[in-house]
Amino acid sequence: MYVKICGLRTAEHARVAVDAGAAAVGVVMNRTSSRRATEDEAREVVAAARGRADTVLVVNDMPADQAARTARDLGFDVLQLHGRAYAETDFGAATAIVPRVWRATSLDLDPPLQVGAWGEEMLLLDAPKPGSGEQWDLSELADRAPEGRWLLAGGLSAGNVAGAIAVVRPWGVDVSSGVEVAPGEKSADLIHRFATAALGG
Protein backbone atom coordinates (compact mmCIF):
# COMPACT_ATOMS: atom_id res chain seq x y z
CA MET A 1 0.00 0.00 0.00
CA TYR A 2 1.35 3.38 -1.08
CA VAL A 3 0.84 5.95 1.69
CA LYS A 4 1.03 9.71 1.15
CA ILE A 5 1.05 12.14 4.07
CA CYS A 6 0.03 15.55 2.78
CA GLY A 7 0.04 19.13 4.01
CA LEU A 8 3.46 18.98 5.64
CA ARG A 9 5.42 22.11 6.49
CA THR A 10 8.34 20.90 8.60
CA ALA A 11 11.35 18.68 8.08
CA GLU A 12 10.52 16.99 11.38
CA HIS A 13 7.11 15.80 10.21
CA ALA A 14 8.53 14.76 6.85
CA ARG A 15 11.04 12.54 8.63
CA VAL A 16 8.31 11.17 10.91
CA ALA A 17 6.17 10.30 7.88
CA VAL A 18 8.99 8.54 6.05
CA ASP A 19 10.13 6.68 9.16
CA ALA A 20 6.53 5.52 9.66
CA GLY A 21 6.48 3.99 6.20
CA ALA A 22 5.01 6.71 4.00
CA ALA A 23 6.02 6.46 0.34
CA ALA A 24 5.22 10.11 -0.36
CA VAL A 25 5.00 13.44 1.43
CA GLY A 26 2.96 16.35 0.12
CA VAL A 27 3.39 20.09 0.49
CA VAL A 28 0.44 22.40 -0.20
CA MET A 29 1.05 25.80 -1.74
CA ASN A 30 -2.53 26.95 -2.39
CA ARG A 31 -2.96 30.62 -1.56
CA THR A 32 -5.99 30.12 0.71
CA SER A 33 -5.10 26.85 2.46
CA SER A 34 -4.50 26.64 6.21
CA ARG A 35 -1.74 24.19 5.27
CA ARG A 36 0.01 26.53 2.86
CA ALA A 37 3.78 26.21 3.05
CA THR A 38 6.31 28.91 2.30
CA GLU A 39 9.05 28.22 -0.21
CA ASP A 40 11.56 27.81 2.62
CA GLU A 41 9.29 25.30 4.39
CA ALA A 42 8.81 23.43 1.13
CA ARG A 43 12.56 23.18 0.61
CA GLU A 44 12.99 21.80 4.14
CA VAL A 45 10.38 19.08 3.56
CA VAL A 46 11.92 18.15 0.22
CA ALA A 47 15.40 17.97 1.71
CA ALA A 48 14.23 15.81 4.62
CA ALA A 49 12.50 13.27 2.38
CA ARG A 50 14.76 13.34 -0.67
CA GLY A 51 15.73 9.87 -1.81
CA ARG A 52 13.46 8.22 0.77
CA ALA A 53 9.98 9.12 -0.49
CA ASP A 54 8.29 10.92 -3.36
CA THR A 55 7.99 14.64 -2.67
CA VAL A 56 4.77 16.11 -4.06
CA LEU A 57 3.83 19.75 -4.60
CA VAL A 58 0.04 20.17 -4.35
CA VAL A 59 -1.69 23.16 -5.95
CA ASN A 60 -5.25 24.08 -6.92
CA ASP A 61 -5.11 27.79 -7.70
CA MET A 62 -1.87 28.31 -9.61
CA PRO A 63 -1.51 28.22 -13.41
CA ALA A 64 -0.22 24.79 -14.42
CA ASP A 65 2.95 26.03 -16.07
CA GLN A 66 3.79 28.23 -13.08
CA ALA A 67 3.09 25.33 -10.72
CA ALA A 68 5.37 23.08 -12.75
CA ARG A 69 8.20 25.61 -12.67
CA THR A 70 7.73 26.01 -8.91
CA ALA A 71 7.88 22.23 -8.42
CA ARG A 72 11.02 22.02 -10.53
CA ASP A 73 12.74 24.95 -8.86
CA LEU A 74 11.99 23.71 -5.33
CA GLY A 75 13.18 20.19 -6.11
CA PHE A 76 9.90 18.26 -5.92
CA ASP A 77 9.63 14.86 -7.58
CA VAL A 78 5.94 15.26 -8.47
CA LEU A 79 3.40 18.00 -9.20
CA GLN A 80 -0.20 17.32 -8.15
CA LEU A 81 -2.80 19.47 -9.93
CA HIS A 82 -5.89 19.40 -7.78
CA GLY A 83 -9.48 20.13 -8.72
CA ARG A 84 -11.67 22.06 -11.09
CA ALA A 85 -9.11 24.75 -11.95
CA TYR A 86 -7.36 22.41 -14.39
CA ALA A 87 -8.28 21.03 -17.80
CA GLU A 88 -6.69 18.31 -19.89
CA THR A 89 -4.45 20.80 -21.70
CA ASP A 90 -2.94 21.90 -18.40
CA PHE A 91 -1.41 18.47 -17.91
CA GLY A 92 0.44 18.69 -21.20
CA ALA A 93 1.75 22.12 -20.23
CA ALA A 94 2.91 20.81 -16.85
CA THR A 95 4.54 17.61 -18.09
CA ALA A 96 6.56 19.64 -20.59
CA ILE A 97 8.31 21.11 -17.54
CA VAL A 98 8.20 18.30 -14.95
CA PRO A 99 7.88 14.66 -16.02
CA ARG A 100 5.74 13.44 -13.13
CA VAL A 101 2.29 14.99 -12.77
CA TRP A 102 -0.68 13.65 -10.79
CA ARG A 103 -4.34 14.52 -11.30
CA ALA A 104 -6.50 14.99 -8.19
CA THR A 105 -10.24 15.26 -8.57
CA SER A 106 -13.57 14.22 -7.04
CA LEU A 107 -16.58 12.37 -8.35
CA ASP A 108 -18.81 15.46 -8.23
CA LEU A 109 -16.75 16.88 -11.11
CA ASP A 110 -17.64 13.80 -13.22
CA PRO A 111 -13.99 13.30 -14.20
CA PRO A 112 -12.59 10.64 -16.49
CA LEU A 113 -11.67 7.82 -14.11
CA GLN A 114 -9.04 6.18 -16.27
CA VAL A 115 -5.58 6.63 -14.80
CA GLY A 116 -3.59 8.53 -17.39
CA ALA A 117 -6.64 9.91 -19.22
CA TRP A 118 -5.11 13.40 -19.17
CA GLY A 119 -1.52 12.24 -19.31
CA GLU A 120 -1.07 12.01 -15.55
CA GLU A 121 1.10 9.42 -13.82
CA MET A 122 -1.34 8.91 -10.97
CA LEU A 123 -4.99 9.70 -10.22
CA LEU A 124 -6.21 10.79 -6.78
CA LEU A 125 -9.91 10.69 -5.86
CA ASP A 126 -10.81 13.09 -3.07
CA ALA A 127 -13.91 14.26 -1.25
CA PRO A 128 -15.95 17.07 -2.86
CA LYS A 129 -14.40 19.48 -0.33
CA PRO A 130 -10.66 18.69 -0.42
CA GLY A 131 -8.84 19.15 2.87
CA SER A 132 -12.07 19.39 4.86
CA GLY A 133 -11.65 16.01 6.54
CA GLU A 134 -15.19 15.15 5.50
CA GLN A 135 -15.80 11.52 4.66
CA TRP A 136 -17.59 10.68 1.45
CA ASP A 137 -19.75 7.78 0.34
CA LEU A 138 -17.32 5.14 -0.88
CA SER A 139 -20.20 3.06 -2.23
CA GLU A 140 -20.14 5.49 -5.17
CA LEU A 141 -16.98 3.69 -6.26
CA ALA A 142 -18.52 0.22 -6.12
CA ASP A 143 -18.95 -0.05 -9.89
CA ARG A 144 -16.57 2.63 -11.09
CA ALA A 145 -13.32 2.42 -9.15
CA PRO A 146 -10.34 3.27 -11.35
CA GLU A 147 -7.86 0.64 -12.40
CA GLY A 148 -4.14 1.00 -11.99
CA ARG A 149 -2.27 3.43 -9.76
CA TRP A 150 -4.80 5.59 -7.96
CA LEU A 151 -4.99 7.07 -4.48
CA LEU A 152 -8.02 7.35 -2.23
CA ALA A 153 -8.33 10.54 -0.16
CA GLY A 154 -10.97 12.42 1.79
CA GLY A 155 -11.88 11.96 5.42
CA LEU A 156 -9.41 9.17 6.06
CA SER A 157 -7.92 8.59 9.51
CA ALA A 158 -6.21 5.84 11.46
CA GLY A 159 -9.65 4.69 12.58
CA ASN A 160 -11.19 4.18 9.16
CA VAL A 161 -8.41 3.76 6.60
CA ALA A 162 -8.18 -0.04 6.85
CA GLY A 163 -11.92 -0.34 6.28
CA ALA A 164 -11.81 2.04 3.33
CA ILE A 165 -8.97 0.05 1.76
CA ALA A 166 -10.96 -3.15 2.16
CA VAL A 167 -14.04 -1.64 0.50
CA VAL A 168 -12.55 0.03 -2.59
CA ARG A 169 -9.05 -1.49 -2.85
CA PRO A 170 -7.09 1.57 -3.98
CA TRP A 171 -3.44 1.34 -4.97
CA GLY A 172 -2.68 3.87 -2.27
CA VAL A 173 -4.12 6.34 0.23
CA ASP A 174 -3.61 10.02 0.98
CA VAL A 175 -4.25 11.83 4.26
CA SER A 176 -3.94 15.38 5.55
CA SER A 177 -6.57 16.50 8.07
CA GLY A 178 -6.77 12.96 9.48
CA VAL A 179 -3.29 13.37 10.98
CA GLU A 180 -3.90 16.82 12.45
CA VAL A 181 -4.84 18.02 15.92
CA ALA A 182 -6.01 21.36 14.48
CA PRO A 183 -6.25 22.74 10.93
CA GLY A 184 -2.73 22.73 9.54
CA GLU A 185 -1.17 21.34 12.75
CA LYS A 186 0.21 17.86 12.19
CA SER A 187 0.72 15.26 14.92
CA ALA A 188 3.65 12.85 14.83
CA ASP A 189 1.59 10.32 16.78
CA LEU A 190 -1.33 10.50 14.34
CA ILE A 191 1.02 10.19 11.37
CA HIS A 192 2.46 6.99 12.85
CA ARG A 193 -0.96 5.61 13.69
CA PHE A 194 -2.32 6.30 10.21
CA ALA A 195 0.63 4.74 8.42
CA THR A 196 0.49 1.68 10.65
CA ALA A 197 -3.22 1.21 10.01
CA ALA A 198 -2.90 1.76 6.27
CA LEU A 199 0.03 -0.64 5.98
CA GLY A 200 -1.76 -3.32 7.94
CA GLY A 201 0.39 -3.12 11.02
Catalytic machinery residues: 6, 126
DSSP calls for the chain: -EEEE-S---HHHHHHHHHHT-SEEEEE--TT-TTBPPHHHHHHHHHHHTTTSEEEEEESSS-HHHHHHHHHHHT-SEEEEESTT--HHHHHHHHTT-S-EEEEEEGGG----STTTTS-SEEEEE-SSTTS-----GGGGTTT---SSEEE-SS--TTTHHHHHHHH--SEEEESGGGEEETTEE-HHHHHHHHHHHTT-
Please, how many CA atoms are within 13 Å of residue 124, restricted to the half-sphere of its CB?
25
Q: Which residues pair with 56 in a beta bridge?
A: 26, 78
